[in-house]
Amino acid sequence: MENVTKLKKLIEVALVIIPQTTPEILKKVICLVDAITTPEKSEVWKKLGDSLLEEAENTSTSDVDSYFFLVVGSGCVGLSIGLKREENQKASQA
C-alpha cells in the first residue's frame, strides 16, 4: 500500500497547486486509486495512468480538471516505471 500512499500524497500536493479541481473529478480519481488491489504491480499503475491521461485529453469540464488528470496520471505512470525497474533489478539478480 506504500504506492497508494505515495500517490495520495501527490494528489494532496496537486490540490495545492491546482485548487479549483471539480469535486466530482477529485472523487472519481480517489475512487480509482482506492480500487487498486495490487499496488505492487507496475501494469496496474500503467493502466490507471494511461486511463487518467486519456481523461485529461477528453475532459470537457475545464482546463483545471485536465491539468489535475494530467498530474495524477503522470504520477501513476511514474510509479509504474519505478516498479518495473525494481522488477528488472530483481530478475537480473536472480
Q: What share of the chain is helix, strand, coil (3-state, %, to 5)?
A: 80, 0, 20
The domain spans of the chain are 2-93
The cell 469535486 sits on which residue?
23
Using the predicted structure, report yes or no on whether residue 1 has a pLDDT greater than 70: no
Short-list 64, 47, 66, CA closest to 56: 66
pTM of the model: 0.87
Alpha carbon of residue 73 to chain centroid: 4
pLDDT digits (tens, 9 = 90+) for 49-87: 999 999 999 987 788 999 999 999 999 999 999 999 999
Give me the half-sphere count of Cα atoms (radius 13 Å) on the Cβ side of residue 26: 15
> How far, CA to CA in Å, does 94 sit from each of 25, 88, 89?
43, 10, 9
At 62, give phi and psi (nearest 5°).
-170, 165
